[in-house]
């Protein structure tokens, strides 16, 4: 019995389509590239229902000859190359001859085309079956219409995103082609509405259409030659960063790509200026001889391989770092810039350039880190940002004066307490961002609120915010305080108590942090949303991906107490904030929300608020290293009420127990 089957054309075309066409955006990508290869200067894109129902591309290119129309739908048929040697010097965007054949195998496709001085003709293909060639009406170029994508592959259709998300992905690709082909006029319509239009007036005009004119004033325009590589385009200045990588565009010999070598080089150049979760803005064009790059890596043509990665890395890194650091070479690289802020580099004066031997390590490290970078996960999201971005004090330019003032105030208050006979904890907190009156009058008398800039390690990943965790529900170990004998403090951090053959070490910060957290948590149960109107509304712009993301999360943000509404085509307006968050830094808060637009799936209000309370408790608890008076220690232990099995909101124990037997083993008294 024969075991090996020869697949039919219908089957192998569908298999090929799975590689080339995975979603509607890939159809748009392939068809736009065909138009550009045909020397089109005007391209119109029409989609309906996220491209699932309709994708139509019209151009004014050279057109397709009547005799070539049927071949256009055949696999491995292309006008871009003719021999194997042509693969070594590819100058076109398409060259495999797979796109139209793959698209027509899983859709209902039609081509109408005309060449100069000839009659227009049309041909269609449905489920891989090609029709006869018929006369048609068309003034110039080619129109390709794709309907009912994946109509004959229902399994693949199930994996498509909702219409709006598919539209966003298509829009993102269209913006890349607008930026990458600034001399071409584009019109892009979605469900009958004009979404984006460019006029072919050059790169500045294209950037203004995609990102807004004000973006240009925040960028350097560069033009450089380095090691036989031309590097040109726009890079953000030392203060201009974005919350995610969707504002980064790279074009190699006119082809939009995503390449790790270049990405790492740019990131390293900005390393001394960027803060955590900040990403450089750039629209970069790299031009180099075709023999130095292999674009025939994957059917999607999204990435390429360089013959010499180190050469590419060094060229990109040296040019961008020179511009940012303001070295003498920058004068040769910067073409024009409406605004060139003077920002001193934070690199040490004796900093050495990156050794070429480390380039591959950096690239490999970055590719691993990309999947490990801080995520904003489903239910723990928005609120870990609240305390982080609350303005705590107007920072003086002279940090030494601020520090001296803080130390003086704390010292003064401590002296007062040493003279006091009460058990009240009222340490002065110059940076307090959560009012003490959030607690009851009885609780507030016991709040130690000394500032500390330190944040527990791995704070965002800690299970402490999962209030339902077992350690919050478990029965706590309770000790009768009368049986404990106070033996002093260690390092002004750990309170030492003795009970028979047991020693208890209590972390004063962790213990007090848990107590404050519990008291705030009680207030949360009866919290009522009260909104505070802003005197001046805050308005922020978004790109298509960010816009969809914010639209999906608006109900949750409103539930949380933010007055948010669309403002124009791609912006949002914040005109109200919750009263208990009225001092929040709105700009940085929303920037971090957008830092991982694929990570936020669900946002639960209770989780968000509990995370805020954990941060507040950490900031307002007495800190390790702070010397407490006997009265303060006594009051803290009274608040603990013998519950030594508690853990702080970050999951750290408040108490560690040592047995006399364990100590004697340390000294070899017993074996």
The residue that leads in pLDDT, 340 or 309, is 309
pLDDT at 144: 93
Region 638-642 average pLDDT: 85
pLDDT confidence band for 4 (50 / 70 / 90): low
Chain-centre distance for alpha carbon 362: 20
Task: Please state which CATH number belongs to domain 212-372.
Answer: 3.30.230.10
Residue 6: pLDDT band (50, 70, 90) is low
Report yes or no: 81 and 87 within 8 Å, Cβ to Cβ: yes
Q: What string of DSSP letters covers 372-397? A: HS----GGG-TTHHHHHTS------S
Calpha distance 246→259 (Å, rounded): 14
Per DSSP, the residues of 601-670 read: ----HHHHHHHHHHHHHHHHSPPTTPPPPHHHHHHHHHHHTTBTT-B-TTS-BSEEEEEHHHHHHHTTS-
d(CA 24, CA 146): 10
Would you say residue 162 has pLDDT above 80?
yes
Burial of 466 per CB tally in 10 Å (0-12, 13-18, 19+): middle
Determine the pLDDT at residue 49.
93
Q: Is the pLDDT of residue 235 over 80?
A: yes
Q: What is the mean pLDDT of residues 200-209?
A: 92
Is pLDDT of 433 > 80?
Answer: no
- More confident of the two residues 10 and 411: 10
What confidence score (pLDDT) does residue 452 get? 36
Q: Is 670 exposed, middle or buried (0-12, 13-18, 19+ CB in 10 A)?
A: exposed
Cβ(246)–Cβ(546) under 8 Å?
yes
pLDDT of 85 > 60? The answer is: no
Q: Per-residue pLDDT tens for 23-73?
A: 899 899 989 988 998 899 999 999 999 999 999 999 999 998 898 888 888
Residue 230: predicted pLDDT: 93
Give the confidence band of 78 by pLDDT, cuts at 50, 70, 90.
low
Taking the C-alpha atoms of residue 465 and residue 610, their distance in angstroms, rounded to an integer, is: 7
Question: What's the pLDDT at 503?
Answer: 92
591 alpha carbon, distance to own chain's centre = 9
Q: Which of 326-340, 410-424, 537-551, 608-622 has the lowest mean pLDDT?
A: 410-424
Least confident span in 116-130, 307-321, 465-479, 611-625: 465-479
Mean residue pLDDT across the chain: 75
Select the more confidently predicted residue: 74 or 472: 74
- Cα separation of 397 and 385, whole Å? 25
- Of 120 and 466, the structure prediction assigns the larger pLDDT to 120
> Looking up tokens 């750990």, which residue turns up?
494
Answer whether 325's CB lies under 8 Å from 304's CB.
no
Whether the per-residue pLDDT at 376 is higher than 50: the answer is no
How high is the pLDDT of residue 597?
67
Read off the pLDDT band of 581 (50, 70, 90): low
Q: 456 and 618 in contact (C-beta within 8 Å)?
A: yes
Q: What's the token pair of residue 416?
A: 């007062």
pLDDT of residue 10: 60
Percent of all residues in the chain with a pLDDT value above 90, rounded to a whole number: 27
pLDDT of residue 607: 62
DSSP assignment, residue 477?
P
Q: Identify the band that residue 338 occupies on the pLDDT scale cut at 50, 70 and 90.
A: very low
What's the confidence (pLDDT) of residue 129? 83
The answer, yes or no, to whether residue 567 has pLDDT greater than 60, is: yes
Q: Per-residue pLDDT for 424 more than 60?
A: no
pLDDT of residue 623: 85
Q: How far apart are CA 120 and CA 140, in angstroms?
A: 8
Out of 70-74, 363-367, 428-432, give the one with best mean pLDDT. Answer: 70-74
Give the residue carrying structure tokens 């004009």. Answer: 194
Of the candidate ranges 206-210, 302-306, 374-378, 468-472, the one whose mean pLDDT is the lowest: 468-472
Q: Does the structure show a pLDDT above 70 at 464?
A: no
Domain boundaries along the sequence of the chain: 9-198, 212-372, 374-671
- Per-residue pLDDT averaged across 322-350, rounded? 64
Confidence of residue 514 (pLDDT cuts 50, 70, 90): confident
The stretch 227-254 carries a mean pLDDT of 91
Lowest-confidence segment of 318-322, 342-346, 601-605 by average pLDDT: 342-346
What confidence category does residue 91 fall into, taking pLDDT thresholds of 50, 70 and 90? low
The sign of the CA dihedral 553, 556, 561, 567 is positive
Q: In terms of pLDDT, which residue wins out, 409 or 590?
A: 590
| Low-confidence winner among 358-372, 549-563, 595-609, 648-662 (lowest mean pLDDT) | 358-372
Residue 219's pLDDT is 93
Give the range among 339-343, 388-392, 482-486, 556-560 with minimum mean pLDDT.
339-343
Reported confidence tier of residue 612, pLDDT bands at 50, 70, 90: low
Contacts of 447 (CB under 8 A, 6+ apart): 425, 426, 436, 439, 516, 620
> If pLDDT is split at 50, 70 and 90, which confidence band does 237 have?
very high
Question: Mean pLDDT over residues 217-235, rounded?
Answer: 92
Q: Decide whether 9-198 matches 212-372 in CATH topology.
A: no
- Residue 446: what pLDDT? 37
User: Residue 223, CB half-sphere, CA atoms under 13 Å: how many?
Assistant: 4
Averaged pLDDT, 576-603? 69
Q: Tokens for 50?
A: 């996220």
Could you tell me where the DSSP H helices lie in 389-507? Answer: 399-419, 441-444, 470-473
Min mean pLDDT across 151-155, 304-308, 465-469 is at 465-469
Q: Does 379 or 612 have the greater pLDDT score?
A: 612
CATH of domain 9-198: 3.30.565.10
How many Cβ atoms from other residues are within 10 Å of residue 518's Cβ? 17
Look at residue 491 in the predicted model and tell me its pLDDT: 92
Looking at residue 345, its pLDDT comes to 40
pLDDT tier at 297, thresholds 50, 70, 90: low
């Amino acid at each position: 019995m024969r075991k090996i089957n020869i697949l039919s054309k219908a089957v192998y075309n569908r298999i090929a389509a799975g590689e080339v066409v995975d979603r509607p955006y890939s159809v748009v990508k392939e068809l736009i590239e065909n138009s550009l290869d045909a020397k089109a200067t005007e391209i119109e894109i029409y989609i309906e229902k996220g491209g699932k129902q309709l994708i139509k591309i019209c151009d004014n290119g050279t057109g397709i000859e009547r005799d070539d129309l049927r071949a256009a739908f055949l696999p491995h048929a292309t006008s871009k190359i003719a021999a194997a040697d042509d693969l070594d010097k590819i100058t076109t965007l398409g060259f495999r001859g797979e796109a139209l054949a793959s698209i027509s195998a899983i859709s209902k496709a039609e081509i109408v085309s005309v060449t100069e001085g000839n009659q227009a003709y049309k041909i269609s293909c449905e489920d891989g079956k090609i029709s006869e060639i018929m006369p048609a009406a068309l003034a110039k170029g080619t129109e390709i219409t794709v309907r009912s994508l994946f109509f004959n592959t229902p399994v693949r259709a199930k994996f498509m995103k909702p219409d709006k998300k598919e539209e966003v992905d298509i829009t993102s690709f269209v913006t890349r082609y607008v930026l990458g082909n600034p001399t071409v006029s584009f019109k892009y319509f979605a469900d009958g509405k004009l979404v984006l239009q460019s006029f072919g007036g050059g790169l500045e005009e294209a950037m203004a259409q995609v990102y807004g004119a004000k973006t240009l004033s925040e960028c350097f325009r560069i033009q450089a030659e380095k090691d036989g590589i031309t590097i040109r385009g726009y890079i953000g200045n030392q203060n201009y960063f974005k919350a995610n990588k969707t504002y980064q565009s790279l074009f190699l010999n006119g082809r939009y790509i995503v390449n790790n070598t270049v990405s790492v080089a740019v990131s390293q150049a900005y390393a001394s200026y960027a803060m955590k979760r900040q990403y450089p803005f750039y629209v970069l064009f790299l031009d180099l001889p075709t023999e130095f790059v292999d674009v025939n890596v994957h059917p999607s043509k999204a990435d390429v391989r360089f013959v010499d990665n180190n050469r590419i890395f060094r060229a990109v890194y040296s040019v961008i770092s020179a511009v940012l650091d303001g070295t003498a070479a920058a004068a040769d690289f910067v073409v024009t810039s409406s605004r060139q802020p003077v920002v001193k580099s934070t690199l040490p004066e004796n900093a050495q350039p990156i050794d070429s031997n480390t380039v591959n390590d950096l690239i490999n490290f970055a590719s691993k880190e990309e999947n490990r970078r801080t995520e904003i996960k489903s239910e723990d999201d928005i609120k870990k940002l609240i305390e982080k971005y609350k303005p705590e004090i107007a920072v003086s330019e002279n940090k030494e004066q601020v520090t001296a003032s803080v130390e003086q105030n704390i010292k003064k208050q401590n002296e007062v307490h040493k003279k006091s006979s009460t058990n009240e904890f009222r340490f002065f907190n110059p940076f307090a961002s959560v009012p003490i009156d959030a607690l009851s009058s009885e609780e507030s008398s016991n709040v130690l609120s000394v500032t500390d800039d330190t944040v527990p390690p791995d704070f965002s990943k800690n299970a402490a915010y999962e209030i339902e965790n077992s350690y919050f529900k478990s029965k706590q170990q309770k000790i009768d305080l009368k049986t404990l004998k106070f033996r002093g403090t260690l390092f002004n951090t750990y309170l030492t108590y003795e009970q028979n053959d047991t020693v208890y070490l209590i972390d004063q910060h962790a213990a007090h942090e848990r107590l404050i957290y519990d008291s705030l948590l009680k207030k949360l149960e009866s919290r009522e949303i009260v909104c505070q109107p802003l005197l001046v509304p805050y308005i922020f712009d978004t790109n298509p991906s960010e816009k969809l993301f914010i639209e999906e999360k608006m109900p949750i943000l409103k539930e949380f107490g933010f007055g948010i509404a669309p403002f124009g085509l791609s912006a949002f307006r914040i005109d109200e904030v919750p009263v208990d968050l009225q001092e929040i830094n709105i700009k940085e808060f929303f920037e971090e929300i957008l830092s991982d637009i694929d990570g936020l799936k669900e946002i639960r209000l209770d989780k968000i608020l509990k995370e805020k309370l954990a941060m507040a408790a950490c900031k307002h608890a007495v800190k390790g290293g702070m010397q407490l008076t006997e009265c303060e220690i006594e009051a803290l232990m009274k608040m603990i009420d013998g519950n030594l099995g508690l853990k702080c909101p970050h999951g750290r124990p408040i108490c560690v127990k040592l047995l006399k037997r364990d100590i004697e083993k340390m000294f070899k008294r017993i074996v």
